A = this chain, B = another copy of it.
Amino acid sequence: MTNRPLIGVFDSGFGGLTVLRELLHHLPGADFLYLGDTAHLPYGSKSQAAITRYTRAAIRELVSRGAELVVIACNTASALALPSLQDNAPVPLVGVVGPGAEAAAAIVPPDSTVLVLATEGTCNSHAYAEACATHGLQAVEKPCPLFVPLVEEGWTDGPITEQIADVYLQEALAAAPQPPQAIVLGCTHYPLLRPLLQREIAKLDGNIPIVDSAEATARHTVTLLPTAANPGSAEPRLHFLATDAAAKFQRFAPRFLGREIPTVELITLED
Task: Specify which of B145, B152, B160 is in contact with A152 (CB 8 Å cutoff).
Answer: B145
Is the C-beta of A224 less than 8 angstroms from some C-beta in chain B? no
* Inter-chain pairs besides A45-B245, A47-B247, A146-B155, 4 sampled, C-beta below 8 Å: A39-B46, A39-B50, A41-B45, A50-B245
Q: Which residues of B contact A65 (CB under 8 A)?
A: none
Name the contact of A159 in the complex, choosing from B38, B45, B163 (C-beta under 8 A): B163
A84 to B148, CA, bound (A): 32
Q: Which residue of B lies closest to A246 (CB)?
A: B47
A222 interfacial contact with B, CB 8 Å: no
Give the A interface residue count (CB, 8 A).
Answer: 28
Number of copies: 2
Does A91 make an interface contact (CB < 8 A)? no
Docked CA distance A225–B93 (Å):
55
- Residues of B contacting A39 in the complex (Cβ-Cβ under 8 angstroms): 40, 46, 50
* Most central of A152, A160, A247 by chain B CB within 10 Å: A160
